[in-house]
Structure 1
């Protein structure tokens, strides 16, 4: 059994493609993360999801909040499917935690918003 460093589990950290570790198994450098965050404006997933949210808000203003919320729930389901299917680093705007946590959170939000859109006046 190989010894582990503090904060590292005995399991192989590279086994999970979503792990926030570099190729050598060490946590990523915060400066590298900060530089990557400055490039967020050039990230296509950010623009696509942001545009979809604006479209849902516009639909809500034009055709009513029930339709806008329903469209937003559909967008969340699409995001969950994309997050669940795309391997590797994935779309930056959808990657927050582990793949399973992200997908379950998006599906839960979609179901909740869709239910509230139909129940509330």
Structure 2
């Protein structure tokens, strides 16, 4: 048993009840560059941007929609806390927002012109 102030606890303290340490949060944010999910997500966004520039607006929009959908699936399937790049809120909120973004980007992509190549014809 550990005694903290006047409160006696047994075992570990649930994450929700732990005291926030700003230094630990800063160290964790600096270590985020070592997390693979951030690199994969950033790389996917760069690839989608290159697709939009090289192939066309529509292809890039679909690539962004697929990335958002893939992130939603990963967030839903992997155990909590999940990938750092897409774990911001509760799992249900993250998945819902990512699905919403994927559907919205996909719908907007359908109505967008296909870039400068289609206007030159």
Where on the TM-score scale, by shorter chain, does this alignment land: which range? 0.7 to 0.9
Residue 5 of structure 1 is matched in structure 2 by none
Instruction: Determine which structure has the larger strand proportion and give its number.
Output: 2
TM-score normalised by length of structure 1: 0.78
Post-superposition offset of 1:26:
1.9
Residue 90 of structure 1 is matched in structure 2 by 82
Deviations 1:48-76 (A, max 9, x none): 00000000000001100100010110110
RMSD value, Cα: 1.6
Distance 2:62 2:99 in 1: 13
Instruction: Check if 1:47 corresponds to 2:39.
Output: yes
Residue 92 of structure 1 aligns to a residue whose secondary structure is: coil
Distance 1:107 1:27 in 2: 33
TM-score normalised by length of structure 2: 0.78
Total equivalences in the alignment: 101
Residue 60 of structure 2 aligns to a residue whose secondary structure is: helix
Runs of 5+ unmatched residues, structure 2: 1-12, 114-121
Post-superposition offset of 1:104:
0.4
- Greater Rg by CA: 2
- 86 and 28 in structure 1: CA distance in 2 versus 1, 3 angstrom threshold: farther
Q: How does 1:1-121 map to 2 (within 5 A)?
A: 14=14, 21=15, 25-121=17-113
Runs of 5+ unmatched residues, structure 1: 1-12, 15-20
Distance 1:33 1:99 in 2: 21
